């Protein structure tokens, strides 16, 4: 009986090709673009632009505050992992937001009645070197390292603080602030209103950092951009993060799930931060998600391509990153939407980044490569005369064990691990890694003839390469001192 529907044999025989990085090369096109002229600035969400298209994965061996601060300073974006208590995650996000700013608004202050001991504890906690002293909101002094150096820990702040404080009005420009601080040889300039109420603080450190990191990713008031991961079922965590971060990443292995979509739909209405939805792997998932959730500020695409993923190995379910990105891009085009897409999982080289962008993504999410750097959490491990850092999947047994102890929303609905844990070779500073990725990406885009990421979506031409051919694309028939015989 012919039902008009394809038979199982036909469905299998005509199945789509779930292509990914190793399947393709980029064909060199007619170019007028020199790599040095290529602009890799990108929209990481509908409301945020960053200077390099690199996002660090929300994994506990990749992104804590140090990675997020350094990556934002280099022009990318860090997503703080959620394998910790809400309290710990919020504290890490606050450190990023406090790392530098034009004007600090949520100033940490002391009161004249505090003991020096309490003030020192605050300075240590927030890693700051001085505290404005306020009484009923009005500035009455400032406590600096110099003031406390010879003080007794039991002394009262009011007795040891500097009472004559140089202040400025809230509307002072950065240049005027710099001059005033230079003139008085001071490091901190409290801003006050007509009634003497403390309105903010400018520090010399922030002014100098601004010059040092001109490409940094910043929010509207000059603080570093910060993202954090959460489950859409964890409303409490999301609401607390919403007060601190710019971007909340709904971090779900398989977002195309009715319950997950419903939870996210409800929660998005309560959040003011930009929201990134993922992970998704198919055209249908992108269509369903974008049409059911009122606000989606970016999509995260790719299931099973991550270097520590064994989802596809175990379950046979997966959507390789390049395929998932292309599917999402085409779906968004059908909807007339230009929501940015993150290509997530499997990035091993600048060429992979270039392919991911060519397939329609605006940024790439990187775990493995960034876990190799000094700024990822954890210390160095020496194995056979080489240094390594630990790197593990968030679905690995040890990561899951930790999460289950503290996050009831991640209770084990699946009784099987979908990630592995191991080591990656240590590669030094993140800045060097980001620079190598950026330079390699610009060279790729030069070959494509694309002077920016938007152009890569239309100008890139790709070709299949056979498995055998792929081996020819690497160095071969030569002994490399760093790699041994190839
Ligand atoms: P790379 O290739 O950079 O990929 O290591 C990082 C991405 O992998 C995802 N991820 C996982 N996927 N099981 C998975 O199937 C896991 O345990 C796991 N942990 C992380 C995640 O999307 C990350 O950004």
Q: What is the pLDDT of residues 339-353, one digit of tens each?
A: 999 999 999 999 999
State yes or no: pLDDT of 285 exceeds 90: yes
Give distance in angstroms: CA of 207 to centre of ligand 1: 37
pLDDT at res. 401: 86
pLDDT at res. 424: 97
Give the residue, 443 or 477, on which the prediction is more confident: 443
Query: What domains lie within the chain, and their CATH numbers?
Result: 14-100+215-470 (3.20.20.70), 116-211 (3.10.580.10)
pLDDT digits (tens, 9 = 90+) for 449-458: 999 999 999 9
- 419: β partners: 309
* Closest atom of ligand 1 relative to the 370 alpha carbon: 3
Q: How confident is the model at residue 74 (pLDDT cuts 50, 70, 90)?
A: very high
State yes or no: pLDDT of 104 exceeds 90: no
Give distance in angstroms: CA of 345 to centre of ligand 1: 6
pLDDT at res. 405: 62
pTM to 2 decimal places: 0.87
Give distance in angstroms: CA of 394 to centre of ligand 1: 7
Q: Among 309, 347, 370, name the best residue to mutate to test ligand 1's pocket (greatest count of ligand atoms within 8 A of Cβ).
A: 309
Six-digit token string for 203: 């520090």
pLDDT digits (tens, 9 = 90+) for 364-380: 999 999 999 999 999 99
Give distance in angstroms: CA of 58 to centre of ligand 1: 9
* Closest atom of ligand 1 relative to the 278 alpha carbon: 22
How many Cα atoms occupy the beta-carbon half-sphere of 433 within 13 Å? Answer: 27
Residue nearest to atom 12 of ligand 1 (CA): 309
pLDDT at res. 472: 83
Q: How confident is the model at residue 174 (pLDDT cuts 50, 70, 90)?
A: confident
Give distance in angstroms: CA of 52 to centre of ligand 1: 21
Tell me the pLDDT of the chain averaged across its residues: 93
Residue nearest to atom 19 of ligand 1 (CA): 393
Q: Which residues are catalytic?
A: 309, 408
pLDDT at res. 136: 93
Give distance in angstroms: CA of 366 to centre of ligand 1: 9
Q: How confident is the model at residue 435 (pLDDT cuts 50, 70, 90)?
A: very high
Q: How confident is the model at residue 486 (pLDDT cuts 50, 70, 90)?
A: low
Give distance in angstroms: CA of 367 to centre of ligand 1: 7
Residue nearest to atom 14 of ligand 1 (CA): 309
Q: Is the CB of 309 under 6 A from ligand 1?
A: yes
pLDDT at res. 27: 96
* Closest atom of ligand 1 relative to the 419 alpha carbon: 17
Q: Vertex 355, ends 444 and 311: CA angle to 5°?
A: 145
* Closest atom of ligand 1 relative to the 345 alpha carbon: 4
pLDDT at res. 105: 84
Q: How confident is the model at residue 483 (pLDDT cuts 50, 70, 90)?
A: low
Q: How confident is the model at residue 246 (pLDDT cuts 50, 70, 90)?
A: very high
* Closest atom of ligand 1 relative to the 367 alpha carbon: 3
State yes or no: pLDDT of 485 exceeds 70: no
Give the residue, 434 or 130, on which the prediction is more confident: 434
pLDDT at res. 170: 83
Residue nearest to atom 3 of ligand 1 (CA): 367
Give distance in angstroms: CA of 309 to centre of ligand 1: 5
Q: Is the CB of 61 under 6 A from ligand 1?
A: no
Q: Is the CB of 395 under 6 A from ligand 1?
A: yes
Q: Is the CB of 23 under 6 A from ligand 1?
A: no
State yes or no: pLDDT of 225 exceeds 70: yes
pLDDT digits (tens, 9 = 90+) for 385-423: 999 999 999 999 999 888 776 666 655 567 788 899 999
Q: How confident is the model at residue 82 (pLDDT cuts 50, 70, 90)?
A: very high
Q: Is the CB of 355 under 6 A from ligand 1?
A: no
Q: Is the CB of 344 under 6 A from ligand 1?
A: yes
| For the chain, percent of residues with pLDDT exceeding 70 | 96
CA 403 – CA 84 distance, rounded (Å)? 7
State yes or no: pLDDT of 171 exceeds 60: yes
When pLDDT is averaged across residues 90-103 and rounded to a whole number, the result is: 90
Q: Which of 177-181, 234-238, 296-300 has the lowest mean pLDDT?
A: 177-181
State yes or no: pLDDT of 51 exceeds 90: yes
* Closest atom of ligand 1 relative to the 279 alpha carbon: 22
Q: Among 314, 345, 399, name the best residue to mutate to test ligand 1's pocket (greatest count of ligand atoms within 8 A of Cβ).
A: 345
Q: Is the CB of 200 under 6 A from ligand 1?
A: no
Q: Is the CB of 278 under 6 A from ligand 1?
A: no
């Amino acid at each position: 009986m012919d039902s008009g529907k394809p038979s199982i044999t036909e469905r299998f025989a005509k199945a789509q090709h779930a292509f990914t990085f190793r399947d393709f090369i980029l064909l060199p096109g007619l170019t007028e673009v020199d790599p040095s002229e290529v602009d890799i600035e990108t929209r990481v969400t509908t409301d945020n632009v960053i200077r390099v298209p690199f996002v660090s994965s929300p994994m506990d061996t990749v992104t804590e505050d140090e990675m997020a601060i350094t990556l934002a300073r280099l022009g990318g974006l860090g997503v703080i992992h959620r394998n910790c208590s809400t309290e710990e995650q919020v504290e890490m996000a606050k450190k990023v937001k406090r790392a530098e700013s034009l004007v600090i608004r949520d100033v940490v202050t002391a009161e004249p009645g505090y003991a020096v001991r309490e003030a020192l504890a605050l300075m240590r906690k927030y890693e700051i070197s001085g505290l404005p002293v306020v009484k009923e909101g009005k500035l009455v002094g400032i406590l600096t390292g110099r003031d406390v150096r010879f003080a007794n820990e039991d002394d009262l702040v009011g007795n040891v603080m500097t009472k004559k404080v140089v202040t400025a009005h809230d509307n002072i420009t950065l240049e005027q602030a710099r001059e005033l601080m230079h003139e008085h040889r001071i490091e901190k300039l409290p801003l006050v209103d007509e009634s003497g109420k403390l309105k903010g603080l400018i520090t010399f450190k922030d002014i100098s950092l601004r010059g040092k990191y001109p490409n940094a990713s910043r929010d509207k008031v000059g603080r570093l951009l910060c993202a954090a991961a959460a489950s859409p079922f964890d409303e409490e965590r999301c609401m607390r993060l919403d007060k601190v971060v710019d971007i909340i990443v709904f971090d779900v292995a398989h977002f195309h799930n009715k319950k997950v979509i419903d939870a996210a739909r409800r929660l998005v209405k309560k959040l003011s931060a930009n929201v990134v939805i993922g992970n998704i792997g198919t055209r249908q998932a992108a269509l369903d998600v974008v049409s059911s959730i009122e606000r989606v500020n970016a999509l995260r695409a790719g299931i099973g391509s991550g270097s520590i993923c064994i989802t596809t190995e175990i379950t046979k379910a997966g959507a390789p990153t390049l395929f998932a990105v292309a599917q999402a891009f085409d779906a968004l085009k059908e909807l007339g939407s230009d929501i940015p897409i993150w290509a997530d999982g499997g990035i091993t080289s600048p060429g992979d980044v270039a392919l991911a962008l060519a397939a329609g993504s605006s940024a790439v999410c990187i775990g493995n490569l960034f876990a190799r750097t000094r700024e990822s959490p954890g210390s160095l491990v020496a194995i056979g005369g080489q240094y390594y850092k630990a790197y593990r999947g968030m679905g690995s047994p040890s990561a899951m064990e930790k999460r289950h102890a503290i996050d009831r929303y991640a209770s084990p609905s699946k009784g099987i691990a979908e990630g592995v844990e191991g080591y990656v070779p240590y590669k030094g500073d993140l800045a060097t890694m980001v620079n190598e990725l950026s330079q390699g990406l610009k060279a790729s885009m030069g070959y494509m003839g694309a002077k920016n990421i938007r152009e890569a979506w239309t100008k890139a031409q790709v070709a299949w390469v056979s498995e055998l051919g792929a081996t020819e694309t690497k160095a071969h028939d030569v002994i490399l001192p760093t790699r041994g015989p190839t």
